[in-house]
Amino acid sequence: MSILHLRDVSKHFGGLQALSHFDLSVPQGAIFGLIGPNGSGKTTLFNVITGFMRPSAGQIHFNEAPIHTQPAWRIAQLGLVRTFQKTSVFADLSALENIRVGCFARTRGTPLQSILRLPGERRERRAADDKARRILALLGMAAAESIQARNLPYGHQRHLEIAIALAAEPRLLLLDEPAAGLNAEETSVLMQTVQRIRDQGITVLVVEHDMKLVMGICERIAVINYGQKIAEGPPEEVSRNPDVINVYLGEDLEL
Amino acid sequence: MNAVLRWKWPLLAALLVLLPHLLQGEYPRHLMILAMVFVMLAQGLNLTMGYVGYLPFGYLIFFAMGAYASALLSVNWGQSFWVGLAGAIGLTGVLAFFIGIPSLRLRGPYFAIVTLAFAEIGGLVLNNWVELTRGPMGIPGIPSPTIALPGMTPYRINGSVSWYYLMLVLAVLVTLVCQRLVQSRTGDAFLAIRENEDLAESVGVPTYRYKLLAFVVSAMIAGVAGSAYAHYVTIVSPDLESFYFVITTFTMVIIGGQGTLSGPIVGAVVFTILPELLRAAQLWRLVIFGVLMVAGIVFMPRGIVGWAEEQWQRLRREGRP
């Protein structure tokens, strides 16, 4: 069963065709990789799926429900949450506060309840704080709780991004180049983290240039070039595909 | 020192209650009343500017509109202050809603300029709709409020002491509303928008709605301040959105400390009293005032409160072995 289904999705900016007739099915519970050269349309695809851009044509279904007309925040509340290519945290907020914002989608307190300070609203907020602490502990960042995100080391900031997304309790998590700028050791920690996330029942769709990561953890990979899907399949199969080698991997890739 | 810290809230409350009796003379009391009006105005502005991170340049139009709504309701239609206050809140809320809908689609300086344009339109209406507003002549003779509870002889707010207490209650209520809003899920959404609007949206924060909410609440608070101010000075005129009020309010929030609850209070009190103290310098008053403002921004970029917090934390670090 597929959790995310794209049918014939196109996106153009004026005369530039960023995505053309793109079909994609992400199976429930998978770690699904999306690779392609720079400028091939990966981030546009992410933006279209998550509601940051409207597709020019085509349909996107998440859990059988159409989402291509929904605003980004609604899609996130449905359980489809993304991270960004460029490190995106709430820089002036503490690590705990960052994750608490992530809890927004799973809490219900209204502004009026806040002003009246109803007991339910207080309880919910304490619960959000507890949840944020649990997530921090899970990532081994408990000591960073009250440190401003801007003062965290880079590796921690990238972890924090994922923590914010996890706090929103996604069913499908979209990671946009999570390993960018990480060293080999940090990357292998990240790979374990992604696998742990999937083991909790969260499907992961990841865009990444780090082939070790993609080939190491993805069960299925789609390759995109000039806005079109040129190959899809298990890593071994894709890495032998002559088209893929030609446009992206190069001849002497060693795995 | 620790004893003082533990008792800071009761001490502050006692000081605020006793203040009009400690200050002899009408003029110091008048300044404190004015400070309370500015506390409200600054808290309202801080909500949108300090917490959500949007700069509503035309903010003072809501102060003026609140004042006019209250003035017209009491002078033309014989309603009480309380009806006027409710009318001011209602009018500013509705206006902000309809101004916010197009303006909040824009970010940064574009938003600031569009709200300024709406404020200019508001100013033109106040000046030129002479049949209703009497134009530049303004509306004089606004009656003072009366507190009438069942089984009680109506009490007329008259004289500086009772006015001080009324303004104090309003300012405390406004601050309380702001505090509860920002220390909640709603406040999390506000801060998230200020820090990173796209990221906020990506974890399910309906950013546009929350921006609109903050803008409307800001405007309603300005409406409360406007209404109370109108009844206090007994006259309203288009000067209410003059440069003086705009600069004063923004200075208070920026130098007091944006995005903090105490910043606008500190800013309002300091910038009500400071210009009066500087009167001693006569000719040099405005020059010194300007220099102090520039120095404040250069040396305390996070405002007086932000600066004080930094010093406090440094002291604590150094005090610990």
How high does pLDDT run on average in chain A?
88
- Per CB-CB distance under 8 Å, the chain A contacts of B201 are 52, 71-73, 76
Nearest CA in chain A to B201: A73
How many Å lie between the alpha carbon of B95 and the closest alpha carbon of chain A? 20
> Of A123-127, A151-155, A185-189, B132-136, which gets the smallest average pLDDT?
B132-136
- In a domain, residue B297? The reply is no
Are residues A182 and A149 part of one domain? no
Tokens standing for B81?
């202050």
Q: What is the pLDDT of residue B118?
A: 92
Identify the band that residue B320 occupies on the pLDDT scale cut at 50, 70 and 90.
low
Do A65 and A6 share a structural domain?
yes
Q: Which of B177, B184, B200 sits opposite A101 (nearest CB)?
A: B200
- Grade residue B1 by pLDDT with cuts at 50, 70 and 90: low
- CB of A102 within 8 Å of a chain B CB? The answer is yes
How far is residue B165's CA from residue B167's CA, in Å, rounded to a whole number? Answer: 5
Number of domains observed in the structure of chain B: 1
Contact criterion met (CB < 8 Å) for B185 and A72:
no
Residue B279 C-beta-side C-alpha neighbours within 13 Å: 4
Predicted ipTM? Answer: 0.89
CB count in 10 Å sphere of residue B84: 27
Domain end among A126, A149, A168: A168
* pLDDT reported for residue B190: 95
Of B191, B194, B201, the CB nearest to A73: B201
User: What digits encode the pLDDT tens for the residues A120-142?
Assistant: 888 888 999 999 999 888 878 88
**Predicted pLDDT at B91:** 96
Q: Does B200 touch chain A (CB under 8 A)?
A: yes
pLDDT at B168 over 90: yes
Nearest to A108 by CA among B189, B193, B214: B189
More confident residue, B245 or A90: A90
On whether residue B228 sits in a domain, the answer given is yes
**Does residue A84 form part of some domain?**
no
Same domain, A46 and A123: no
**pLDDT value at A250 more than 90:** no
Phi and psi for B56 in degrees, rounded to 5? -90, 85
Beta bridge partners, A12, equal: A17
Residue A226: give its domain's CATH number: 3.40.50.300
pLDDT, mean of residues B286-303: 84
Q: How far apart are CA B103 and CA B221, in angstroms?
A: 19
**Distance (Å, whole) CA A79 – CA B203:** 9
Taking the CA atoms of chain A, what radius of gyration do you get in angstroms? 19
B203: nearest CB among A74, A76, A92: A76
**Domain ends where: A168, A199, A224?**
A168
Spatial separation of the C-alpha atoms in residues B71 and B238, rounded to whole Å: 12
- Statement to judge: residues A46 and A111 lie in one domain: no
Confidence band of B10 (pLDDT split at 50, 70, 90): confident
Q: How confident is the model at residue B2 (pLDDT cuts 50, 70, 90)?
A: low
Flag if B203 and A101 touch (Cβ within 8 Å). yes
Select the residue of B185, B191, B205 nearest A114 (Cβ to Cβ): B185
Same domain flag for A175 and A158: no
Residues of B (84-113) whose Cβ lies below 8 Å from A: none
Asked whether residue A33 is assigned to any structural domain, the reply reads yes
Closest CA to A5 of A84, A76, A68: A68
Partner residue opposite B191 with nearest CB, options A93, A109, A110 = A93
Q: Tell me how close the Cα of A63 comes to any Cα of chain B, in angstroms.
A: 17
Q: Per residue in B27-84, pLDDT tens?
A: 888 999 999 999 999 999 999 999 999 999 989 999 999 999 999 999 888 888 899 9
> What is the model's pLDDT at position A4?
92
Binned at pLDDT 50, 70 and 90, residue B227 comes out as very high
CA B143/CA B25 separation, integer angstroms = 23
- CA triple B119-B120-B123, angle to 5 deg: 90
Instruction: Give the residue from A158, A165, A157, A154 showing the smallest Cα distance to A200.
Output: A165
Whether B143 and B71 have beta carbons less than 8 Å apart is answered as: no
pTM for the full predicted model: 0.90
B303-319 and B243-256 helices, crossing angle to 10°: 10
* End position of a domain, from candidates A168, A198, A219: A168
Higher pLDDT, A45 or B286: A45
CB pairs under 8 A between A and B: 104
Q: Taking CB atoms and an 8 Å cutoff, what residues of chain A touch B206?
A: 71, 73-74
The confidence score (pLDDT) of residue A252 equals 58
Q: Please report the residues numbered 42 through 81 in chain A whose beta carbons come closer than 8 angstroms to any beta carbon of chain B.
A: 50, 52, 71-74, 76-77, 81
Strand partners, A229: A224
User: Tens digit of pLDDT for each residue in B14-28?
Assistant: 888 888 888 888 888
Q: Chain A: give the shortest CA distance to residue B166, in Å.
A: 21
- Render the burial of A207-240: b for 16+ CB within 10 Å, e for the rest: bbebbebbbbbbebbbbbbebebbbbeebeebbe
> Any bridge partners for residue A5, and if so which?
A25, A61
Is the minimum CB–CB distance between A129 and chain B shorter than 8 Å? Answer: no
Q: Once rounded to an integer, what is the mean pLDDT over residues B135-155? A: 82
Which pLDDT score, from 0 to 100, does residue B312 have?
86
Q: What is the mean pLDDT of residues B241-261?
A: 87
Give B207's contacts in chain A (Cβ within 8 Å).
73
How high is the pLDDT of residue B98?
Answer: 95
Whether residues A158 and A180 fall in one domain? no
How many beta carbons lie within 10 A of that of residue B302, not counting itself?
A: 16
Q: Which residues form the domain of B97?
A: 26-243
State the Cα angle at B274 between B271 and B280, rounded to 5°: 155
A73 with A184, same domain: the answer is yes
- What is the secondary structure of B240-307 as a DSSP string? GGSHHHHHHHHHHHHHH-TTSSHHHHHHHHHHHHHHHHGGGGGGGHHHHHHHHHHHHHHH-TTHHHHH
Q: Which residue of A has its CA nearest to B209?
A: A73
Instruction: Please state the rounded mean pLDDT for residues A81-109.
Output: 90
Are A110 and A223 in a shared domain? Answer: no
Q: State residue A33 phi and psi, 5-degree precision.
A: -100, 145
Q: Are A121 and B201 an interchain contact pair (Cβ–Cβ within 8 Å)?
A: no
Is the residue at A160 inside a domain?
yes
Position B86 pLDDT exceeds 90:
yes
Residue B268, in any domain of the structure: no
Q: What is the pLDDT of residue A96?
A: 92
A64 with A128, same domain: the answer is: no
Any idea of the CA torsion for B239, B244, B250, B253, to the nearest 10 degrees?
A: -100
So what's the pLDDT on residue B3?
66
Q: Do A121 and B206 touch (CB under 8 A)?
A: no
Residue among A71, A104, A111 minimizing CB distance to B203: A104
A89 inside 8 A of chain B by CB: yes
Whether A20 and A36 map to the same domain: the answer is yes
Count of domains for chain A: 2
Residue A239, domain extent? 1-79+170-255
Q: Compute the CA torsion angle B300, B303, B307, B308 (nearest 10 deg).
A: 140
Q: What are A185-217's pLDDT values in tens digits?
A: 888 888 988 998 899 899 999 998 888 888 889
Q: Does B10 touch chain A (CB under 8 A)?
A: no
Amino acid at A11: K
Do A131 and A205 fall into the same domain? no
Tens of pLDDT, residue by residue over A41-75, are 888 999 999 999 999 999 999 998 999 999 999 99
Q: Are residues A67 and A191 in the same domain?
A: yes
Band (B221; pLDDT cuts 50, 70, 90): very high
